[in-house]
Amino acid sequence: MYRKCLLALICFISTLELSAQDTDTDKKEKWQAGLTPAQKMIANSGEDLLTGGNAEDHATVISGYGEMSFRRDVAYKQSRANLDRVVLFVGHQFSSRFSFFSELEVSDARIEAGAARGEVGMEQAFLRYNINPRQYVIAGLITPRIGITNEAHLPINFLSSERPIVEQLVIPTTWRELGVGYYGQLSRWPIAYSIAIMNGLDASQMQHGRGIGAGSAGGQSINANSMAVTASLRAYAGDFQFQVSGYYGGANGMSPYTSDSLGIEHGAFAMPVTMGEANIQYSNSGFSAKALGIIINNSAARQINTTFANNTPEQMYGVYGELSYDVLYNRSQRLDKELSLVGFVRYERLNLNARIPGNAIIDGTLDQHHAIGGLAFFPTPNVAVKADVRYTSTGAFNKNLLINPPPVMRSYPEQNYTVSLSLGYAF
């Protein structure tokens, strides 16, 4: 069924493209035809510098972003300060058609032998070929267009001190895989689309409480016998942006010999993981709103748990809604300033144990509600100072999850508050 749906989507896009007339010459104007300034702000992540009219042939662009934070866990009376990430972007324009993009991230300030924290890794590294001003192909380490934050993950693009919880735990932002993607926009209608083929997930690496995130290889030494297909449609109407995306992929990249020895199915789409996501964004006159919903199904969860004993769920989901208002909007417009002071509230609901197989153990702490409120001050559009408070409510902790429980154990707080401050930048 999924292959038929994918084939139908490709045929539909091809039909629309054949009927579209491509007469303009300005790449940037054609890509953003009909968009309001607010939509352009949403559409531009700030990373696509080379194709935004900022670089000539044979030019190299260096940019980056980063964020640092202070957080206070009220229940545990614990404060923590951290340099969350520093990312260096390097891109090169080989010609009008070929370009290269890369992001190298250092998270948690440093890497130290024997320490659990800290990571150096590539967030993106791909070559891009422009077929024409509206269509292009990328190949390499790519970020699938799923959710709001996975592509637009700069700290100036979200208002809270940390990325939305749903887009950390359910969508493992920044999610990247090795693959090939085709992106485009129709000339007659404000509709953008994408379709990509990537390596699949690794069921043997999935971990309890981490959603599908631990099953992502991030481009490192992948068992590539499995594959995945992802696609998206994005439309603009007035001050609204709408998006739907989907994912279907296998989660067993091991060889047939290894799979048979373990007694598990094998093939490109064996142990399938399916995903459906939709989001909507609105922005006008200082007021903004966004909402997102995603559901993930893992039909082979029982088989995965039997083989790898990693307590994998059959289903997980997440939703959130956010409202915000820039209290300096009218003043900034009148004085031609770039100051912004945005107040926001957001509610998030997620459950990483929405449905579990009979051989899994329920964990109430993964059934979560989050309410966040705060302020984000932008003295300039590329610098953000943020402060917020997050209230978290979860289910009860299941002591059956402990194989060797400690003799003395502190009770788990089902309600908690986190106070956060952060600085973010992008250039």
CB 207 within 8 A of CB 225: no
User: Looking at residue 284, what is its pLDDT?
Assistant: 95
For the CA atoms of the chain, what is the radius of gyration? 22
Torsion sign over Cα 401, 266, 125, 426: negative
| Residue 46 pLDDT > 70 | no
Hey, is 318 helix, strand or coil? strand
- In the chain, what are the domain boundaries? 2-17+27-426
* Residue found under tokens 């769920």: 313
CA distance 374 to 389: 6
CA distance 181 to 196: 4
User: Looking at residue 119, what is its pLDDT?
Assistant: 86
pLDDT in tens, 131-182: 998 999 999 999 999 999 999 999 999 999 999 999 999 999 999 999 999 9
- What does each C-alpha distance from 82 to 107, 108, 143, 271, 371 come to in angstroms? 9, 6, 25, 38, 23
Higher pLDDT among residues 408 and 327, named by residue: 327
| Residue 23 pLDDT > 60 | no
User: Looking at residue 115, what is its pLDDT?
Assistant: 65
pLDDT in tens, 308-347: 999 999 999 999 999 999 999 888 766 767 899 999 999 9
Phi and psi torsions of 400, nearest 5°: -65, -15
CA distance 326 to 78: 32
CA distance 385 to 79: 19
Higher pLDDT among residues 302 and 29, named by residue: 302
| Residue 15 pLDDT > 50 | no
CA distance 246 to 296: 10
The CATH classification of domain 2-17+27-426, taken from the options 1.10.287.110, 3.40.630.30, 2.40.160.10, 1.10.10.10 = 2.40.160.10
Q: Is 369 exposed, middle or buried (0-12, 13-18, 19+ CB in 10 A)?
A: middle
User: Looking at residue 102, what is its pLDDT?
Assistant: 94
The DSSP result for 70-101, as a single string, is EEEETTTTEEEEEEEEEEEEEEEE-SSSEEEE
Q: Which residues contact 410 (CB under 8 A, 6 or more apart)?
A: none
CA distance 105 to 97: 27
pLDDT in tens, 173-207: 999 999 999 999 998 999 999 999 999 999 999 99
pLDDT range class, residue 116, cuts 50, 70, 90? low
CA distance 276 to 296: 7
Q: How many helices (H) and strands (E) does the chain have?
A: 7, 16
- What percent of the chain is modeled with pLDDT above 90? 70
User: Looking at residue 305, what is its pLDDT?
Assistant: 94
User: Looking at residue 114, what is its pLDDT?
Assistant: 61
Q: What is the mean pLDDT of residues 94-121?
A: 85
- What percent of the chain is modeled with pLDDT above 70? 85
Q: What is the pTM of this model?
A: 0.86
Closest CA to 190 of 20, 354, 396, 62: 20
